[in-house]
Amino acid sequence: AISFVGGDAAGDHIHERGTKNGKRVQSNKGAKNHGTIMPDSAKENVLNALIGASFGAAGQRCMALSTNIFVGDAQDWIPELRAKAEGLVVGEGMDAKSDVGPLITAQSKERCERLIQSAAEQGAEIILDGRGIEVDGCPNGNFVGPTIIDNVTPEMDCYKEEIFGPVMLCMRADSMEEAIEITNSNPYGNGAAIFTQSGGAARKYVSEVDAGQV
């Protein structure tokens, strides 16, 4: 048997070659995890959770919460989210003061920066731009600082592709039902989360959202 976790291209190749040779193949490929932020949730707790879930490990986690859908009045929290992210310290991974370390390869950095640029060109608003950041003592480091892209829509490349870096996409919806529809329309369904204080809303979300983990 073969078990793989990684990108789409490698996963497809391994699955094809493995099954042709009679192997059982488990291939876990790209991810785009969605959070739905309801206006009745505890704002400060939510913002702190989003910072950790999106930017921890420089976003290089299969379960990083890279896409967040703000419902109704929760959209007013995005400037405060930006302020918290702006305060994160980018630095060398062994430095205890660092909140966000480097990306794993130069190619990862290039992919992040390419998708950030594509978002700007396709009409999104980059409200916090982590490109071009410099870290003392690491002139050749693969650093991208925390980045937040607002007003993202489903047809944008940054939404259709897995970024796998410290980049948070912010989308907007008028209702939980619209947020669920957005989440379910994305081909990647690793995980999904809802932030709410309503038990009824949480149960409805769990029953209707299509994701591997909720």
- Cite the active site residues: 62
Neighbours of 191 (CB within 10 A): 19
Tokens 């992210």 belong to which residue? Answer: 85
- Distance between CA 178 and CA 176 in Å, rounded? 5
Q: Which of 145, 88, 154, 84 shows the shortest CA–CA distance to 119?
A: 154
Percent of residues in the chain assigned helix, strand, coil, to nearest 5: 40, 20, 40
For residues 148 and 82, the answer to whether their CB atoms sit within 8 Å is yes
Other beta carbons within 10 angstroms of residue 47's beta carbon come to 20
Supply 163's token pair.
Answer: 């970024």
Q: How far apart are CA 121 and CA 206, in angstroms?
A: 35
Q: Please give the Cα distance from 102 to 19 (Å, whole number).
A: 36
